[in-house]
Structure 1
């Protein structure tokens, strides 16, 4: 079995995919929408020594495997092939056809990371965040656009721009939290300060954002000063656990829970409750699994090794239960899954439009990590292998009650 035929066997045939290999072999129809090029024996060795998404990811990041055409559409075709692919015996036969040399794994791409130390200790959490967020503020500007918002946007219309949708997301969070000018807001995992600045500028709230990324904090503080918000807004390079207790009327957590760890969720929500005054609201916005049946931790997956080390996704029911058990009354929940697929679409468009500059800033390998991760994540939200939920809770007073509107008053 030649190289291209063996790869097609491993993945499964698809009329949208053509395979070409360095040995001159081909498989799949002429004129297919996408061509997957296996460029060297290294690509074969990556796939043989780590069958599945990690091996294919290593081959792609290192440039030993490439895809022509739109990567999202190609991944869609590959995933469909996998659902209807050949038998386990045929795949094993294809793997064996590569020969014994393919059993020796090449050096791992420099972009792959395996963290050391206690899982979710402060030191290891800081290393995990730094790996992903401290690469380059300029690179994030190329991908995220002017808002520098690295979380799911909320699109008011299908044709809304990314910037409009990100501003709409921040405003939705502000309305759900019931912010007024006499309040103080804590934004945990604040990124580049988008929520902090929106709340201060549009609602007059005194805001504190905390992040474990030093580069994010530096960028945010500069942006706060440039927008004339320094008297109401601040971002600190700080672990959320070290923010002041009993000091805030509202807490927003937008995209932090994924980094916390499922086992840590009870402690996480208990700590956030401790930051709030009685009657204060918490808005938790995070990626989730579609049910409680999937594994939360993907230790050997592409995302864990290249994108979000130690990231863990739980089901929304787990989130809600942890909030309840930590002393919050849950008042509202909604799934914004489709909005995240659209957000990733727009980030991917930005990356392609700024590809040369992005490569110049972080290197080809890391840019390819992002291209693959965003296309794959977009497919995940589209296929509902992952979701995005906002859950609103309120810290009740000593009598077990808190004032809330009879019906939600924030709209969508």
Structure 2
């Protein structure tokens, strides 16, 4: 793998920068995961029925499974996980859905880890992962459902991505998204702009929209809104490690040139983007929503 200086100098495009970010960070994400061993690198959601961290990390998976029940064929269903990470959600879906669970990730490292997990779980015949840009999916096959957890924000253009996904959904198929969405609160406030700019730069965010904008774009793509569930209040913000990250990132604030340099390094990019996300969520400049869309 190339050195950080080589990557910075190369002037990578957005999609390559996302791949570079996850290739460099994924193994560390797994080491510091909220629920080690779960292979889940998305956030825990502490809804009132949750009693431990394992359940919290599984909340989004459980919500997806509940919304897919009765919506996919009882046999031979096809489900696609967009931005599938290392396959944790795919394994969970495979235990509940009788069919083929495919996943796409832009990260070569994630694809390799996922394939090894499927082999360990005896699921290699039903769970398949491929390394590619989810904006450039093959025309076939068509899917009964697609899911994406903390993934579509990386798309350079959600407006272009949605029609592409809709074309590959069967009639009545569902697209389930769980991600960060911008709000209209404090628009024009300088602190808000700085926070969102740092979130975009750090976490390689290409598409940051409000839920209303998503619904409008989805409608134009032939998808209608079935459910919008705001999960923000169930996130645990300000954990000890979050406070440590905030202190580390804060030390760079007085030297913008240093921060701009560090944000190009995947490790520091994650720190800077994650710290900005904490601020954005706590001030409701960002919200974490679980959204179900359906093709007519």
1:128 aligns with one of 17, 41, 50: 17
1:318 is matched with 213
CA RMSD, 1 decimal: 3.5
Q: CA deviation at 1:301?
A: 3.7
**Following superposition of structure 1 onto structure 2, how do residues 4-403 of structure 1 map, counting pairs within 5 Å?**
116=11, 124-144=13-33, 145-157=36-48, 160-178=51-69, 179=72, 181-182=74-75, 183-240=77-134, 241-245=136-140, 247-261=142-156, 264-291=157-184, 294=187, 301-305=197-201, 307-340=202-235, 342=236, 345=239, 348=242, 370-396=270-296
Secondary structure in structure 2 of the residue aligned to 1:249: strand
Give per-residue Cα distances to partners, 1:40-81, cap 9 Å, x unaligned: xxxxxxxxxxxxxxxxxxxxxxxxxxxxxxxxxxxxxxxxxx
2:254 is matched with none
Instruction: Give unpaired runs (5+ residues) of structure 2.
Output: 246-264
1:37 is matched with none
Instruction: Give unpaired runs (5+ residues) of structure 1.
Output: 1-108, 118-123, 352-364, 397-412
Q: CA deviation at 1:111?
A: 11
Secondary structure in structure 2 of the residue aligned to 1:387: strand
Q: 1:372 to 1:269 in 2, by over 3 A?
A: closer
Q: 1:169 to 1:335 in 2, by over 3 A?
A: same
2:262 is matched with none
Give per-residue Cα distances to partners, 1:190-245, cap 9 Å, x unaligned: 11112211110233331000010000000011111111111211111122222444
Q: 1:277 to 1:347 in 2, by over 3 A?
A: farther
Give per-residue Cα distances to partners, 1:1-22, cap 9 Å, x unaligned: xxxxxxxxxxxxxxxxxxxxxx
Structure 2 CA distance for aligned equivalents of residues 111 and 232 of structure 1: 39
Q: State whether residues 297 and 311 of structure 1, in contact with CA within 8 Å, keep that contact through their aligned partners in structure 2.
A: no
Q: CA deviation at 1:133?
A: 0.5
Structure 2 CA distance for aligned equivalents of residues 270 and 318 of structure 1: 14
Structure 1 CA distance for aligned equivalents of residues 148 and 9 of structure 2: 26
Q: CA deviation at 1:159?
A: 6.6
1:12 is matched with none
TM-score by structure 1 length? 0.57
Secondary structure in structure 1 of the residue aligned to 2:124: coil
Q: CA deviation at 1:112?
A: 9.9
Structure 2 CA distance for aligned equivalents of residues 111 and 156 of structure 1: 44
Higher relative contact order at CA 8 Å, sep ≥6: structure 1 or structure 2?
2
Kindly name which structure, 1 or 2, has the bigger radius of gyration based on alpha carbons. 1
Give per-residue Cα distances to partners, 1:288-323, cap 9 Å, x unaligned: 111298589979943344x22353311110011111
Q: State whether residues 187 and 207 of structure 1, in contact with CA within 8 Å, keep that contact through their aligned partners in structure 2.
A: yes
